[in-house]
Amino acid sequence: MDTATEPETEQVVFVTEDGVPTGETGPKLASHHEHTRLHLAFSCYVLRRSDDALLITQRAFEKRVWPGVWTNSVCGHPAPGESLEAAVGRRAAYELGLPSLSGLRCVLPNYRYRTPPFQGIVENEFCPVFVAWADDEPSPNPVEVGDWRWVAWADYTELLNDVTADVSYWAKDQFAQLKGIEPFSGL
């Protein structure tokens, strides 16, 4: 296994309020706590090329941060010196078993959020949001993904509006901005 993707050795890049790296990094797991510093991350929504269904994932129950919640396709953190696009590709291959995404583009370049505490952890991320398409079925890594499914955008909307659904904070927060942006506004 590539040690750069192992949570024990992964580093996060700390940034300013504008998303500019400060030059400081920290261990991924140790950097997420009740006083998490602002750091660089990404979210990506993967659509199936044949019908524009959205791949949603349930985070593995063993994950330390937001275990068991349903969310967008893949999230992660770029390594120091790694581009966001390369990080999306790396994490899509590692988490989803999707080594090739097409049409990757950033749709929310300045998205930033801070979550309320969840099991003692606060997410505090400058988190550009991407969209990409896949032609293949995922083969998720069970350490990262507990379950997954392809859903129509209307079904995703319904899931996010269900107050009883266990959905990530950032998926709900991003939705308000994504629903008016192509390709989502046309789904």
From 75, 85, 127, 144, active-site residue: 75
Q: Is 35 annotated as a binding residue?
A: no
From 85, 125, 127, 144, active-site residue: 125
pLDDT band per the 50, 70, 90 thresholds, residue 5: very low
pLDDT single digits (tens) 164-176:
999 999 999 999 9
- In this structure, the number of other CB atoms found within 10 A of the CB of residue 154 comes to 9
31 pLDDT above the threshold of 70: yes
Domain total of the chain: 1
Mean pLDDT, to the nearest integer, of 154-179?
Answer: 95
Q: Which residue has the higher pLDDT, 101 or 9?
A: 101
What's residue 3's pLDDT?
A: 35
Q: Which residue has the higher pLDDT, 34 or 71?
A: 71
What's residue 9's pLDDT?
A: 81
What's residue 8's pLDDT?
A: 60
Rounded CA-CA distance 74/52 in Å is 16
Q: Is 39 annotated as a binding residue?
A: yes
> Is residue 91 a part of any domain in this protein?
yes
pLDDT single digits (tens) 76-125:
999 999 999 999 999 999 999 999 999 999 999 999 999 999 888 899 99
Q: Is 33 annotated as a binding residue?
A: no
pLDDT single digits (tens) 57-82:
999 999 988 899 999 999 999 999 99
> Is residue 184 a part of any domain in this protein?
no
- Print the domain residue range for 89: 3-173
> Is residue 155 a part of any domain in this protein?
yes
> Is residue 181 a part of any domain in this protein?
no
- In this structure, the number of other CB atoms found within 10 A of the CB of residue 131 comes to 24
Beta bridge partners of 133: 47, 102
Comparing CA positions, the residue from 122, 4, 112 lying closest to residue 66 is 122
> Is residue 186 a part of any domain in this protein?
no
- For residue 49 the two structure tokens come to 């090329």
What's residue 120's pLDDT?
A: 86
Q: Which CATH number is 149's domain given?
A: 3.90.79.10
143 pLDDT above the threshold of 80: yes
Could you confirm whether 62 is annotated as catalytic? no
> Is residue 29 a part of any domain in this protein?
yes
Would the pTM of this model clear 0.95, i.e. be above it?
Answer: no
**Residue-wise burial string across 20-51, b where 16 or more C-beta atoms lie within 10 A, e elsewhere:** ebeeebeebeebbeeebebbbbbbbbbbbeee
Could you confirm whether 75 is annotated as catalytic? yes
> Is residue 77 a part of any domain in this protein?
yes
> Is residue 101 a part of any domain in this protein?
yes
